[in-house]
Each structure stands twice: as C-alpha cells, then as structure tokens.
Structure 1
Amino acid sequence: MLALSANGHLPKADYALFADTGWEPRSVYQHLDRLEKEIAAPAGIPVLRVSSGNIRADALDPAHRFASMPLHILNEDGKQGMTRRQCTGEYKIKPIKRQIRELLGYPYPRRIPKDVFVEQWVGISTDEFHRAKDADVRYMRNRHPLIDMGWSRNDCIAYLTSIGFADTPKSSCLGCPFHGNAQWRHIRDTSPTEWEDVVAFDAAIRSGNARANAGGNPLLGQAFLHRSRVPLDQAPIDHVTAAEWAALQQGPAEHTAVLEQLEEGVVDGCSPWACRGDAEAVQDDVGLAA
C-alpha cells in the first residue's frame, strides 16, 4: 500500500505506521529501512515506528506485566493446549492507537471529539477478505484498499516484483508459535544467530512467563514454540511426523490444506487487524483499547 500510494496508484498517505514488537527477523528491519529510503522518503511520506517494548525481553522479565504469546502447552496429564494470545493487542494495536491519538492532537486521557478521526488503511488482500473489519474505536475508520482494488496476494507479489521488491519478507515475530516448519527451517538454515536466539528463548519459556512464575502462579505443564511440543532444536521441522500423516488421512482437499499449514504456518498475515487468529482487544493500564 505504501508503494501504491508513493507511486500515485492510491492517494498520498499522510503517514505510514510500523508496529515494532522488538523481535522481528533482521530481514524485516532491513526491508523496512530500504522501503523508507527508496519509496517513502522520495514521496514525502513519513514512516513512524511505534512500539510497546520488546516482546522477547518482556516475556523473560519477572518485573514486567507480559501480554502472553500463544505458546503450545503440554499439560501434566498429557493434554495439549495453547496459552491466550494477547500479543497483538499489546504490541501492535496499543502503540498504533497511542500514535494516532498524538497525531490527532488528543493524547490519552483527552477525549477525542466524535467528528475527529483518521482513515486507516489496512493491508488485507482478497485472499483474506474475511478479516476485513472495523476498528473498535470511533477515532479510527478502517479502509481496505487492496480489497477495493480486487488485489490478491499474487497481485501484490507481482507488483512488488515489478518495482524491485520481489524479496519482501513476511513480518512476524522471530519466535512466533504460529510459524510452520518451512519458516523454522528458513531461520535455522539462513541465520544461525537468529536460530540460536529462538532456541534459547524456547528453552527459557518452558515453565511459562517469568512474571507469573515470580508471583507464585507457575504454569501447570510445559510451554513450547513448536506445535510438536518438544524443544525447538529437537522438533521435527524437516518432515511430517507419523502422527501428523495419520491425521491428514481425511481426503485430498483436507490433506493438502492441513499439510500446507504444517509447512507454511497459518497463511493470514500477522498485522494488527489481520493476525493469525482473531485479535482480542486488551484492556491495558492506560485504557487505550477501551
């Protein structure tokens, strides 16, 4: 959308916002730097990087109130589950709302008049039109230009390729539990330092987040980044396990869909209004999601 706006295919945007969780792959930050330098700056569109902190550091800090990641859980009785996913609300939606309030001239706790709002463009394509939704506050009105243009993910890839951005990486936390095997392999095979980082984090969160443990509320089970619920450096990221193959025997269409998800992760993008799973509004200390 930023490139379409900068090149005159969409109206010129006033600002572009990037919600930084503090734990994106290095390739994403490099891409953002290039996008800002080659696309946004020449068009006069400021790119604002907003943040609520570093999600990795916060998870391991016993003094920090941590908005939980959707970790894969293996309970003591052998049952499987996932922790609540609050990270989108805390690390993406919250800092965007704070920044928009400041741009409008009404930082919290000032009340925003009913007739003051921003038109917010959300990069959802026709492939995921079901995720197109309104914002949950009056001062933000969502619009979905890619859907208005009838553009699919393939259309976006073709356009990016035509302007020299064919290698645009997918934005998501480095250690996102929604990664598929292909994403885990990519980290392991192309970036040893980042692989070491996620393996270390996986081991560190085995007993849940540090704040809960310090407060006497330990996790009744074990937490993992990989869906197999074994340590990441031992997880079967190079093949589909026998149990997974058995679960896939549901017919050709179902087989293909599930296998793709095991490999690629959940395909919907990880952004404030298009996260892998419906984003929950989180009531935070300063009421920004209220």
Structure 2
Amino acid sequence: MLALSAEGTLPRVDYAIFADTGWEPKAVYDHLDRLEREIAQPAGIPILRVSSGNIRADALDPGHRFASMPLHILNKDGRAGMTRRQCTGEYKIKPIKKKVRELLGHPYPARIPKGVFVEQWVGISTDEFHRAKDADVKYMRNRHPLITDMNWSRSDCVRYLTSLGLADTPKSSCLGCPFHGNAQWRHIRDTSPEEWQDVVEFDAAIRQGNARANASGNHLLGEAFLHRSRVPLSDAPIDHVTAAEWAARQRELGDGQEPDAVEAELGVADGCSPWACRGDAEALPVQGDFGLAS
C-alpha cells in the first residue's frame, strides 16, 4: 500500500506507522530502512516508528507487567493448551492508537471531538476479505484499498512487489513468535546463529512462566514453550517435514492443503498484523496471565 501510494496509483497517505515490538528479526528492520529510503522519503511520506517497549525484555523483567504471548503450554496432566494472546493489543494496536491520537491533536486522555478521525488503511487482500473489519473507535475509520480500490489477491500483491524488486519482503513478527512454522525456525537457525541462540535462550527462560508472576508466587500451571511440539526449541523437530508439508511448499498457502499441516511447516500466514492477526489462540484451552489459571 505504501508503494502504491508513493507512485500515485492510490492517494498519497499522510503517514505510515510501524509498530515495533522491539524483537523483530534484523531482516525486518533492514527492509523497513530500505522502504523508508527508497520509497517513502522520495514520495514525502513519513514512516513513524512507535513502540510500547521490548516484548522480550518485558517478559523476563519481574518488575514489568507483561502482556502475554500465545505460548504453547503442556499442563501438569499432560493436556495441551495455550496462554492468552495479549501481545498484539499491547505491542501493536496500543502504540498505533496512541500515535493516531497525537496526530489528531488530542492525546490521551483528552476527548476527541465528534467528526475528527483518521482514515486508516489496512492491507487485507481479496482472498481474506472476511478479515476486513471496521475500527473499534470512532476516531479511526478503516479502509481496505487492496480490496476496494485494487481488487488484488495475495498473488497480485506478490507480483507487484516482485516488479519493484521487493520479492524478498520478510514477514514482520517477533523473532520468537510461537506461531512460527518449522520453515521459519529453520531459517533463523540456518541463516542467523545469533538470533537462533537468542530464541533458544528465551524459550528456556520462559519455561516456568513469566518473571513477574514467578516473583509474586503465581507460578505457571505446567510448562511453556515456543514450539508447537511442546519440547525445548533446541530439541524441537523443526527438520521433520511430512509429505503434506512438502506439498504445501509447492503451492499457495492453504491451496487444497490441510491447515494444520500447512501451519506446522509454514507458520501463520503473513506474520503479525495489528488488525488481522491470523493466529488463533482459542483453538486450544487458554490459560490466563501467561498460563496461570484464570
């Protein structure tokens, strides 16, 4: 959408906002720098980087209230579960809304006058039109130009990015996101030893729950893991690829494949989107506050 706006195919936007969790892969930050340098700045479009903090550091800080990731949990009775997903709201949506209020000239807790709003573009394509939703606040009005203006599918978007030399656009998501598939874990391990060591250490550090809960005596009822196999990431079966997973690599995500097999290999599509997070933490029993019983 930024490129389409910069070249004039779509109207010129006033700003682009990137919500930084503080724990993105280096490739994402490098790509963002390239977009800013080659596309946004020449078109006079400011990219605003906003943040609520560093999600990795916050999880390990006993003095910080942590908005939990959707970690994979192995309960004491052997049942599988997940912790409640709060990270998207805290580290993506909250800082974006805060910045939007500032741009409107009415920072929290000031009341925003009736009729004052921003038009916010959300990059959902036609193959996921059902994710196109209205904003939940009156000072933001969602627009979905890939659907309403371009009538573009995911494949159309990929072709366009390829034409701009941006075919290698990386997924934006936390380095240690529990929604990663095996392909993403292997990519980190095989291409970035430092980042792999980082996620392995974090996986071990959160095994018994978040630091603040443990410091207050509210221990995790079970064990937490980053990998869906619910074994330590250093030992997880990320090299095992089933026949269905191999087939999934050869076609568009979800095209005739079993969803579980596709996600096991490729992960949740498109990374972490503030307004259309594809991870479904409700698929398994959910525990509150980083795995504590609700």
- Asked if 1:258 corresponds to 2:257, the answer is no
Q: Distance in 2 between matches of 1:61 and 1:258?
A: 34
- Asked if 1:142 corresponds to 2:110, the answer is no
Secondary structure of the residue aligned to 1:96 is helix
The equivalent of 1:181 in structure 2 is 182
The equivalent of 2:275 in structure 1 is 273
Secondary structure of the residue aligned to 2:223 is strand
- Asked if 1:233 corresponds to 2:234, the answer is yes
Asked if structure 1 preserves the Cα contact closer than 8 Å seen for 2:171 and 2:270, the reply is no
Cα displacement string for residues 36-81 of structure 1 (whole angstroms, at most 9, x for unaligned residues): 0000000000000000000000000000000000000001111110
Cα displacement string for residues 125-160 of structure 1 (whole angstroms, at most 9, x for unaligned residues): 112211111111100000011111111111111111
User: Aligned ranges for residues 1-290 of structure 1 at < 5 Å?
Assistant: 1-148=1-148, 149-240=150-241, 256-277=258-279
Asked if structure 2 preserves the Cα contact closer than 8 Å seen for 1:98 and 1:108, the reply is yes
Distance 1:16 1:278, change over 3 A: farther
Aligned residue identity for 2:38: E
Asked if structure 2 preserves the Cα contact closer than 8 Å seen for 1:178 and 1:276, the reply is no
TM-score, normalised relative to structure 1? 0.90
Gaps of 5+ in 2: 246-254, 283-294
Asked if structure 1 preserves the Cα contact closer than 8 Å seen for 2:13 and 2:45, the reply is yes
Q: Tell me how far 1:5 sits from its aligned partner.
A: 0.2
Q: Distance in 1 between matches of 2:35 and 2:281?
A: 27
Q: Tell me how far 1:277 sits from its aligned partner.
A: 3.4
Q: Distance in 2 between matches of 1:268 and 1:34?
A: 19
Cα displacement string for residues 188-227 of structure 1 (whole angstroms, at most 9, x for unaligned residues): 0111110000000000000111111111101011000000
Distance 1:279 1:100, change over 3 A: farther
Q: Tell me how far 1:240 sits from its aligned partner.
A: 4.4
Aligned residue identity for 1:224: F
Asked if structure 1 preserves the Cα contact closer than 8 Å seen for 2:64 and 2:212, the reply is yes
Aligned length, in residue pairs: 271
Query: Structure 1 vs Structure 2: percent identity of aligned residues?
Result: 82
Cα displacement string for residues 218-267 of structure 1 (whole angstroms, at most 9, x for unaligned residues): 1011000000000001000011489x9xxxxxxxx976433211101122
Secondary structure of the residue aligned to 2:18 is strand
Gaps of 5+ in 1: 245-252, 281-290
Q: Distance in 2 between matches of 1:182 and 1:164?
A: 23
Aligned residue identity for 1:146: L
Distance 1:107 1:278, change over 3 A: farther
Asked if structure 2 preserves the Cα contact closer than 8 Å seen for 1:268 and 1:274, the reply is no
Aligned residue identity for 2:219: P
Q: Distance in 2 between matches of 1:138 and 1:100?
A: 12
Cα RMSD after superposing both structures: 1.8
Q: Distance in 1 between matches of 2:201 and 2:175?
A: 12
The equivalent of 2:252 in structure 1 is none
Q: Tell me how far 1:27 sits from its aligned partner.
A: 0.2
The equivalent of 1:250 in structure 2 is none
Distance 1:46 1:279, change over 3 A: farther
Q: Distance in 2 between matches of 1:174 and 1:114?
A: 40
